[in-house]
């Protein structure tokens, strides 16, 4: 018998967190965060991390599990989330993955085999030597030439993942997206929901969220991280909300310029998220543009989920 799994995806600021709490309370759910940044301790405001009060007693997993020095990966997320799904099902509760990191979510629901392309140690050594001699930017440019989508997603300093993407292309002739988007059946009794809204409304919500982050002390949060020795070249510190404020704190831009850059980068990220999730044909989309009855939406989703996985 397949294990049950409810997944809620959507762009940043669309309202995933609030809706997931209402659903979890009604469906006896436990939330597994599907966000690549919320794993980091001390990075709360910039990641819009849920507070203990907002959780309303709903168990949450994969939040605050690593220091910012850790290079969290889709493979690690897959391993941890897969085990949690099993444990939560064993407790006769409903596991709910909630998040906006598309690769992480897909790696679990389709159980990607991250190692199936094999490894080529000689090729890796060659690429590491290339990066050492020519620089990481030059290696990143090689990836951009053959796989611009993955190159856009990876920072040049993320050497391990840049080399892995090049290695997969070397071994299979496929880009990372082609390699990972091969159609597979989910091993789960799956209910996959996508939240969306009119782009203008979403962008306004993003702008307001950024303003709120600044009011809540985002600049102080980033300053504390830097003082604790977390440098700008870390993967975590390259996240949206952190890299822009670092630019300000280092005197490269004014605060208004940093805030505008943060808003623009977040809007661009939301656009990329929607593009990614639109490619997942099995998603049941829910439009939250109109300020309609929130409880009615929750009831409708519960009915839909019951028909899909809870019958």
16 and 208 in contact (C-beta within 8 Å)? no
Percent of the chain at pLDDT exceeding 70: 96
Q: What pLDDT does 281 receive?
A: 82
Q: What does the alpha-carbon distance between residue 8 and residue 75 come to, in Å, rounded to a whole number?
A: 20
CA–CA separation, 165 and 167 (whole Å)? 5
* 16 annotated as belonging to a binding site for a ligand: yes
pLDDT for the residue 116: 60
Task: Give the pLDDT confidence score for residue 123 in this predicted structure.
Answer: 86
Looking at the chain, the domain(s) classified CATH 3.40.50.300 span: 3-105+189-310
- Model pLDDT for residues 158-177, shown as the tens digit of each residue: 898 899 899 888 877 888 87
- Provide mean pLDDT across the span 153-159: 88
- Tell me which of 3.90.650.10, 3.40.1170.10, 2.60.40.10, 1.10.20.140 is the CATH number of domain 121-182: 1.10.20.140
Q: What pLDDT sits at residue 24?
A: 97
Residues spanned by CATH 1.10.20.140 within the chain? Answer: 121-182
Find out whether 217 is annotated in a ligand binding site. Answer: no
57 is annotated as contributing to ligand binding: no
Give the residue-averaged pLDDT of 229-258: 97
Residue 308 — pLDDT band, cuts 50, 70, 90? confident
| pLDDT digit string, tens, across residues 253-282 | 999 999 999 999 999 999 999 988 988 888
Where does residue 260 rank: exposed (0-12), middle (13-18), buried (19+ CB within 10 A)?
Answer: middle
CATH architecture of the domain with range 3-105+189-310: 3-Layer(aba) Sandwich (3.40)
SS3 assignment, position 187: coil
Model confidence pTM above 0.95? no
10 is in an annotated binding site: yes
Note whether 7 and 96 are within 8 A (CB). Answer: yes
Chain centroid to CA 71? 14
What CA dihedral angle connects 61, 49, 230 and 227, to 10 degrees? -130
What would the pLDDT profile of 207-219 be if each residue is shown by its tens digit?
999 999 999 999 9
Give residues with Cβ within 8 angstroms of 45, minimum separation 6. 213, 216, 217, 218, 221, 241
Supply the mean pLDDT for the chain: 92
pLDDT at position 15 is: 94
Q: What does the alpha-carbon distance between residue 103 and residue 9 come to, in Å, rounded to a whole number?
A: 11
């Amino acid at each position: 018998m397949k294990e049950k799994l409810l997944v809620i995806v959507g762009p940043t600021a669309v309202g995933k967190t609030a809706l997931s709490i209402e659903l979890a309370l009604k469906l006896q759910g436990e939330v597994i965060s599907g966000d690549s940044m919320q794993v980091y301790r001390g990075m709360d405001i910039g990641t819009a991390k849920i507070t203990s009060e907002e959780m309303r007693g709903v168990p949450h997993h994969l939040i605050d599990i690593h220091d910012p020095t850790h290079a969290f990966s889709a493979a690690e997320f897959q391993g941890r989330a897969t085990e949690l799904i099993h444990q939560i099902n064993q407790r006769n509760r409903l596991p709910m993955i909630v998040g906006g990191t598309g690769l992480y979510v897909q790696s679990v629901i389709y159980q990607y085999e991250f190692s199936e392309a094999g490894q080529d140690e000689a090729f890796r050594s060659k690429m590491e030597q290339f990066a050492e001699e020519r620089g990481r930017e030059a290696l990143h440019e090689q990836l951009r030439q053959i796989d611009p989508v993955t190159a856009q997603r990876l920072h040049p300093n993320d050497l391990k993942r840049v080399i892995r993407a090049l290695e997969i292309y070397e071994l299979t002739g496929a880009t990372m997206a082609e390699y990972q988007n091969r159609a597979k059946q989910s091993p789960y009794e799956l209910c996959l929901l996508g939240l969306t809204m009119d782009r203008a409304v979403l962008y306004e919500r993003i702008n307001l969220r950024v303003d709120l982050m600044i009011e809540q002390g985002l600049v102080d949060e980033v300053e504390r991280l830097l003082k604790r020795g977390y440098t700008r070249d870390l993967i975590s510190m390259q996240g949206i909300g952190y890299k822009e404020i670092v630019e300000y704190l280092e005197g490269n831009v004014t605060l208004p310029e940093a805030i505008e850059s943060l808003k623009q980068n977040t809007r661009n990220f939301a656009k990329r998220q929607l593009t990614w999730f639109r490619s997942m044909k099995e998603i049941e989309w829910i439009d939250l543009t109109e300020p309609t009855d929130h409880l009615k939406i929750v009831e409708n989703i519960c009915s839909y989920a019951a028909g899909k996985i809870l019958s």
